Amino acid sequence: MVLKLENVTKKFGEFTAVNDLSLAIPEREIFGFLGANGAGKTTTFRMILGLLDPTDGKITLDGKKVDYTTSPIIGYLPEERGLYPKLRVKDQIVYLARLRGMNKHDALKELEYWLERFKVPEYLDKKVEELSKGNQQKIQFLAAVIHKPKLLILDEPFSGLDPVNVELLKEAVLDLKEAGTTIVFSSHRMEHVEEMCEHLCIMQKGKPIVHGALKDIKRSFGKKNLVIHADFDLSYLHRFHGVTNTKRTAEGVHLQITGEEIAGEILQDIVGKGFIRKFVLEEPSLNDIFIEKAGASYE
Amino acid sequence: MNNFFIILFHTYLTKLKTKSFLVTTIVTAVLLIGLTNIPRIIEFFDKDGDAEKVAVIDTSGQLFEPLQEQIKASNGDIELVHFTDGLEEAEKQVEAEEFTGVLELTLTDDQLPAAAYKSMSMADSMVVTELQSGLQQLKTMMASAQINLTQEQLAQLYEPVPFDRAALEENAKTEEELNQARGLVYVLLFIIYFAVIMYASMIATEVATEKSSRVMEILISSVSPIKQMFAKILGVGLLSLTQMAAFLLVGYISIKQNLESMEGGFFEFFGFGNIPGATIAYGVIFFILGYFLYATLAAFLGSLVSRIEDVNQMITPMTMLVVAGFMIAMVGLSTPEAGFITITSYIPFFTPMIMFLRVGMLNLPFWEIGLSIGILVGTIIILAIFGARVYRGGVLMYGKSNSFKDIKTALQLSKKE
C-alpha cells in the first residue's frame, strides 16, 4: 500500500496545525515521522486515519480516499495508551479486532500467537489494569497489529519498555515490514529511528523542514562530528575556524565541524602538542540533526 | 457482523455482566418480591404471637359480656379474660407476661362505662385503640338506650350524607377511576424518572470512561463516532429494557401468586386492581422516547469531559431538567388540568413525564398526544444530529477544561472543510 499525502493543510480556526505537507510512503518501508512536541504529528496521523478532514489537499492509500471502509487495513498505536482497564485481555483484543473486520475465531488464534511471541501467554485471561505499564504496552501493540494491517501507524511504540522488550517489539515491527506492511513510525528516540527507518521527515510548526532518505539527510547536513581524546588541553579548539559546537568530555572534546577538511586542519594543528589517544571523524547523528533543525523553533 | 451491532452487543453484554448491574437488579427484584408480599409477611410475623390476652376487672358486673362481644366481632386477635382476683394480682400477672394488660371497667354516675388500662409499656397502641373503640360503641348503645332511642333512630343519626359527584365531560374518568389512575401514574412516573437518570448517566460515564482510558482513539479509528454513539445508546437501551422486563416479570409472578391476599388495601389504593392497558402502553412509549432524548444528551455531554470525575458536573444541568420535570409532574398529579401542566407537557424535555401524566389522568384527544410525541421525536432527531457532531469532535479533545464553551470547539473540530 502506498500512502500519499498531497499538499495537506489543516487549520483549526486561525491556527494552522499542518501546512502544505506532501509525503509519499512506499510499501515495505518504515517511514520516520519526527517532530518536536506540538509540531503537528498527531494531527497528521488523525487525518491519515480519517478522524479529521484536511482543510486542503488529499490523502490517499493506493489512490483511494481513506475512510471507515479502509479501517480494516489500517492499524493504529496511539501515543496515549488506551485500553479498557476493567476488561480481560482476551475480551478487549477480540472486540477491537472484530471492529477491524476480523472474525472471533481468527482473532483469538492470532492473539494466542502474539502472546506466545511476546512471552506472556498467561495474560489471556488477565484484566488490563492488573498488568504492568510495559506489559500493557505489549497488549496495546498487539491491538494495533492483530488484524494484519496494510498500513500501520506507530506513535511512540517503545516508550515505557525495558531494553529486552524493545528488542522484542522492534523485531516484530521489522517482520511486519518484511511482510509488506507500510509503517509510519514516530518516536523521540532518535537511535530507534536511525536504526529502523530509511526515509524520514522532521516536522516543525506543521511544516516538513527535513525530508528524504536518512543517508541523504546526513550527507546534506554537511556538518560532521569529531571526537578527540588527548592528554593535553584541547579547549582552545572552540576558537578554531569551522568549529560550530564544542562539548567537553572527561577524556577530551566532541566537536561539531562544518566539513571533512576542517578535521585535517585540526589534526595538523594538534599533532606534536602531546599524546593523542583517539581521533575519530563521525557522521552526524540524527539526534544532532533533530536538535539543530527542530530546536531552532525554541530559539 | 456489522460494526454497529458489534458495539451494540459489546456494550450490552459487558454492562450486563458487571457486578454492579447484577447486584442492583437482584436487590430491586428482592424488594419487589418483598413489596408484593407485604400482607403475607405481616401475617407470617403475626402468627408467631398468640392472641393478645387482656385481663378485665369488671366492678359493675354488667360491662364485661357486651364488651367481649364487641371485641370478638371486630378483632379476633384480642382475647378478653374475666379476672376476679383483684387489681394487684392482675398487675403481677401482667408483669409475668401472662396478660398483655389489665383493663378496669367501672360505671360512672350517669351509668355509662369508664375504663382504665394498664400495661407494661405504652408502645402497643393497637390493643388500646381496639378496646377504646369497642367501649365507645358500648357507651353509644347504653346512652341511646337511656334516652329510649330505637335502633332505626340510631341508624338514621349515623347515616352519612348522600354525596354524588359526576363529571359532565363525556368519557371523563370517574372519581374512583381517577384515584386508581393516580396511583398507577405515580408509580410509572417514578420508574421513568429513575430509569432516565440512571441509564443516561450510565451512558455518559461509559463514553467518559472510554475517553479517559484513551481507548476511544482506537475505537474512533475503526468505527465512526456517530455509529459508535448510537450503538452505545441502543446497547444501554436494550440493557434498560432487559432490566425493566426482569422487574416486570418478577413483579407480575409475585402479584399473581399473592392475588388473593392483596384484594383491598394497599394495592387497590394504587389502582393495581384493574390496570388499564393504554396507560401501561403510553408509559412504555414515553419511557422509550424519554430515554432516547436524555441518552443522546448524555452521550454528547459525556464526550466533552476528559476525566470520569467530571462526568457528574457535566450532566448536572441534564439531571436538573429531569428533576424539574418530575417535580412538575408531582404537582400535576393533583391538578392535571392546570394550564401550567398543559403548557409544560409540550416542552420536549418534560413531555415524557408530564404528557404521560396527562394521558394517564385525563381523556385527551389523540391529536394532543400525537403533537407532543411529534415534538419529542423531532427534538430527539435534532439533538441526535447536533449531538453526533459534538461527539465527533468532543472525543478528540483532551484537556482540563470541561465547560459548555467546549461544545463550540468540538463542533469546529468535526467540521468538514
CB contact (8 A) between residue B215 and residue A11: no
Same domain? For B269 and B337 the reply is: yes
Q: Is residue B292 part of a domain?
A: yes
CA B302/CA B406 separation, integer angstroms? 12
CA B258/CA B32 separation, integer angstroms? 13
Q: Compare A90 and B165 and report the one with higher pLDDT.
A: A90
What ipTM describes this predicted complex? 0.76
Secondary structure string (H, E, C) spanning chain B? CCHHHHHHHHHHHHHHHCHHHHHHHHHHHHHHHHHHCHHHHHHHHHHHCCCEEEEEEECCCCCHHHHHHHHHHHCCCEEEEECCCCHHHHHHHHHCCCCCEEEEEEECCCCCEEEEEEECCCCCHHHHHHHHHHHHHHHHHHHHHHCCCCHHHHHHHHCCCCCCCCCCCCCCCCHHHHHHHHHHHHHHHHHHHHHHHHHHHHHHHHHHHHHHCCHHHHHHHHCCHHHHHHHHHHHHHHHHHHHHHHHHHHHHHHHHHCCHHHCCCHHHHCCCCCCCHHHHHHHHHHHHHHHHHHHHHHHHHHCCCCCHHHHHHHHHHHHHHHHHHHHHHHHHHHCCCCHHHHHHCCCCCCHHHHHHHHHHHCCCCHHHHHHHHHHHHHHHHHHHHHHHHHHHHHCCCCCCCCCCHHHHHHHHHHCCC
The CATH number of A223-283 is: 3.30.70
Total-model pTM: 0.73
C-alpha torsion A254→A242→A263→A193, nearest 10:
50
* Domain end residue (candidates: B96, B126, B157): B157
CB contact (8 A) between residue B221 and residue A53: no
Domain range spanning residue B150? Answer: 50-157
* Domain end residue (candidates: B123, B157, B191): B157
Instruction: Give CA separation, B102 vs A299, B74, B293, in Å.
Output: 101, 19, 64
CB contact (8 A) between residue A143 and residue B210: no
Same domain? For B190 and B102 the reply is: no
The CATH number of A3-218 is: 3.40.50.300
Same domain? For B148 and B194 the reply is: no
For B371-399, what is the mean pLDDT?
84
CB contact (8 A) between residue A82 and residue B216: yes
Same domain? For B54 and B125 the reply is: yes
CA A75/CA A50 separation, integer angstroms? 13
Q: Is residue B20 part of a domain?
A: no
Same domain? For B353 and B249 the reply is: yes
pLDDT of residue B403: 62
**Closest residue in A to B228 (Cα–Cα):** A99
DSSP state of A180: T
CB contact (8 A) between residue A82 and residue B1: no
List, as ranges, residues 27-66 from A with C-beta within 8 Å of B: 46, 49-53, 55
C-alpha torsion A38→A40→A42→A44, nearest 10:
180
Q: CA nearest A136: which of A147, A148, A126, A149?
A: A126
DSSP-H helix ranges across A12-86: 41-48
End-to-end CA distance of chain B: 32
Same domain? For B149 and B184 the reply is: no
Same domain? For B100 and B72 the reply is: yes
* Chain B residues closer than 8 Å to A81 by CB: 214
User: How confident is residue B388, by pLDDT bands cut at 50, 70 and 90?
Assistant: confident
CB contact (8 A) between residue A87 and residue B396: no
Domain count, chain B: 2
Lowest mean pLDDT among B36-50, B103-117, B190-204: B36-50
Q: Is residue B139 part of a domain?
A: yes
C-alpha torsion B270→B276→B280→B282, nearest 10:
-120
Task: Measure A72 CA to nearest chain B CA, in Å.
Answer: 7
CA B239/CA B9 separation, integer angstroms? 10
Task: Measure B256 CA to nearest chain A CA, in Å.
Answer: 40
DSSP state of A285: P
Q: What is the pLDDT along chain A (299 residues), one digit of tens a residue?
A: 788 888 888 888 788 888 888 888 888 889 999 888 778 888 898 888 888 888 888 888 888 888 888 888 889 998 877 888 888 999 989 999 998 888 899 999 999 999 998 888 898 899 988 888 888 888 999 999 998 899 999 988 888 888 888 998 999 999 999 988 999 999 888 888 888 888 888 888 888 888 888 888 888 877 888 888 888 888 888 888 888 888 888 888 888 888 888 888 888 888 888 888 888 888 888 888 888 877 765 44
Q: Is residue B255 part of a domain?
A: yes
**For residue A152, what are the β-bridge partners?**
A75, A183
By the CB < 8 Å criterion, does A82 face chain B? yes
The answer to whether residue B76 scores a pLDDT higher than 70 is no
Question: Any idea what the CATH number is for the domain that residue B107 is in?
Answer: 3.40.190.10
Same domain? For B265 and B134 the reply is: no
Same domain? For B142 and B181 the reply is: no
* Domain end residue (candidates: B99, B130, B157): B157
Residues B322, B204 contacting (CB under 8 angstroms): no
Q: Is residue B25 part of a domain?
A: no
Q: Kindly report the average pLDDT of chain B as a whole number.
A: 81
CB contact (8 A) between residue A76 and residue B220: no
The answer to whether residue B396 scores a pLDDT higher than 90 is no
Residue A44: which residues within 8 A CB-CB, separation 6 or more? A5, A8, A10, A18, A21, A33, A203
Give the number of other Cβ atoms within 10 Å of residue A137's Cβ.
22
pLDDT of residue B170: 58
CB contact (8 A) between residue B217 and residue A82: yes
pLDDT per position as a tens digit, B297-322: 998 888 888 788 888 888 888 899 99
CB contact (8 A) between residue B6 and residue A99: yes
Q: Please calculate the CA angle A241-A247-A253 and round it to the nearest 5 degrees.
A: 80
CA A68/CA B228 separation, integer angstroms? 12
pLDDT of residue B48: 52
For residue A224, give the H/E element and its range: strand A224-230
Q: Which of A68, A137, A142, A184 to mutate to test the interface with B (most CBs of B within 10 A)?
A: A68
CB contact (8 A) between residue A71 and residue B221: yes
Same domain? For B375 and B297 the reply is: yes
Residue B262: which residues within 8 A CB-CB, separation 6 or more? B36, B39, B255
Q: How many CA atoms lie within 13 A of A32 on its CB side?
A: 26
Q: CA nearest A150: which of A177, A129, A114, A174?
A: A177
* Chain B residues closer than 8 Å to A97 by CB: none
Q: Is the dihedral of CA A262, A263, A267, A268 positive or negative?
A: negative
* Chain B residues closer than 8 Å to A11 by CB: 417
Q: Compare A181 and B398 and report the one with higher pLDDT.
A: A181
Same domain? For B149 and B178 the reply is: no
Q: Is residue B196 part of a domain?
A: yes
Q: Is residue B15 part of a domain?
A: no
Residues B395, B303 contacting (CB under 8 angstroms): yes
pLDDT of residue A299: 43
Same domain? For B216 and B126 the reply is: no
- Grid cell 581521533 in the structure block, residue: A279
Task: Measure A180 CA to nearest chain B CA, in Å.
Answer: 21
pLDDT of residue B19: 87
Q: Which of A61, A90, A95, A153 to mutate to test the interface with B (most CBs of B within 10 A)?
A: A95
Residues A193, A264 contacting (CB under 8 angstroms): no
* Chain A residues closer than 8 Å to B220 by CB: 51
Q: In what order do the strands lie in the sheet with A64-65?
A: A15-25, A3-12, A56-61, A64-65
A122: left (phi over 0), alpha (psi -120 to 50) or beta: alpha
pLDDT of residue B122: 75
Q: Is residue B34 part of a domain?
A: no
User: Biggest alpha carbon distance in chain A?
Assistant: 74
What residue segments make up the domains of chain A, in order of their start?
3-218, 223-283
